[in-house]
Amino acid sequence: MKLAIFVLSNPGAGEEGLGRLFNALALAAEAQRAGDDVHVVFAGAGTRWPAELTRLDHPAHALYSDVRPAVQGASCGCAAVFGATESVEACGVPSLGDNPLPGTPGVASIRRYVAGGWHTLVF
């Protein structure tokens, strides 16, 4: 199976945001164990997550470390809008801008996954 997981939840949204992130990463871990082709992409306010998840004391740090090979990147335009460009770069997460949008450096394309037959989920 080909599985694309987009994380849009906001780390500032408390338990709701953490719950969405945790379930997205749990699914990615399960898919990896099953041998699926899995891609995790941070978009929207979710571009703030990599900086949080690299903290050793974060409750989802170990899970993030486990699925880190599946992380394809963070939406470049979203990171710019949500003030996460520097933190995304500092965490070593690639910037994705394959969907050119006027007034932005481009955003991560969800359509390319859907058009490619990927099961695409948004958390």
Boundaries of domain holding 88: 2-122
Residue 101 pLDDT level (bands cut at 50, 70, 90): very high
Mean of all residue pLDDT scores within the chain = 97
The model scores a pTM over 0.85: yes
**pLDDT tens, residue by residue, 55-72:** 999 999 999 999 999 999
What single string gives the DSSP state of each residue in 21-45?
HHHHHHHHHHHHHTT-EEEEEE-GG
pLDDT-above-70 percentage for the chain: 100
Domain count for the chain: 1
Contacts of 88 (CB under 8 A, 6+ apart): 42, 47, 50, 51, 74, 79, 95
CA 19 to chain centre: 14
Check residue 47 and report its DSSP letter: G
Calculate the CA dihedral of residues 74, 96, 36, 33 and round it to 10 degrees. Answer: -30
Domain harbouring 34, CATH code: 3.40.1260.10
